[in-house]
A = this chain, B = another copy of it.
Amino acid sequence: MKFGCKRKTLFPNKVINLSATQRKEIHKRFKDFLKSQGLRETRERKVVLDAIYETHEHIDADELHLHLRQQGHAISRATVYNTLNLLLRCELVVRHQFGNSQAKYEPSFLFGQHDHLICLDCKKVMEFCDPRIQSIQEMVADAYSFEIKRHALNLYGHCQRPECAGRAST
């Protein structure tokens, strides 16, 4: 039922800079969620939300914590983790596990659905988009009587970028 990637191109239609209206929409969604759950709207929670939406990379909780500390926010790691879980629950961010044990987070609201290409050497993560995944999803849902909420397709390999010098295995 969710909107999938309908375009012919492989490249995802990711919004890079949010307009003031979009920013407000995001804030509203979080505020409404917190109110609906009887949770408080704190400075720290807003700061985490904004930081995630400013970062156009796949970031982990610790990087996010460090980033916020460097910006002068006296926020603890525990609060970062706590807030990330709230943002997951209201679907403002998504969590990825790219093979390593550390989870990566990414804003999801207003951004197109997409999948990932991960370089095994330099660990760079790229994004792509293919409408066929949507039909695979529907077909599998039907065959298995499964109500599918989301998917993750990760392609692992070796990128050809000259900057990629990494070599992992023998």
Residues of A in contact with B (beta carbons under 8 Å apart): 10, 37, 89, 95, 97, 99, 101, 103, 117, 119-120, 126, 128, 130, 132-133, 135-137, 139-141, 143-160, 169-170
4 shortest interchain CB distances as A-B pairs: A148-B157, A97-B97, A145-B160, A153-B153
On chain B, the residues within 8 Å of A99 by CB distance are 95, 97
On chain B, the residues within 8 Å of A154 by CB distance are 151-153
The 8 Å CB contact of A156, one of B89, B133, B148, is B148
Across the interface, do A144 and B132 meet the contact criterion of CB distance under 8 Å?
A: no
Q: How far is the CB of A61 from chain B (nearest CB, A)?
A: 12
Across the interface, do B140 and A136 meet the contact criterion of CB distance under 8 Å?
A: no
**With A151-B155, A151-B156 in contact, do A144 and B117 touch (Cβ < 8 Å)?**
yes
| Besides A133-B153, A149-B158, A152-B156, 6 other A-B contacts (C-beta < 8 A) | A10-B140, A10-B143, A126-B146, A146-B157, A146-B160, A150-B155
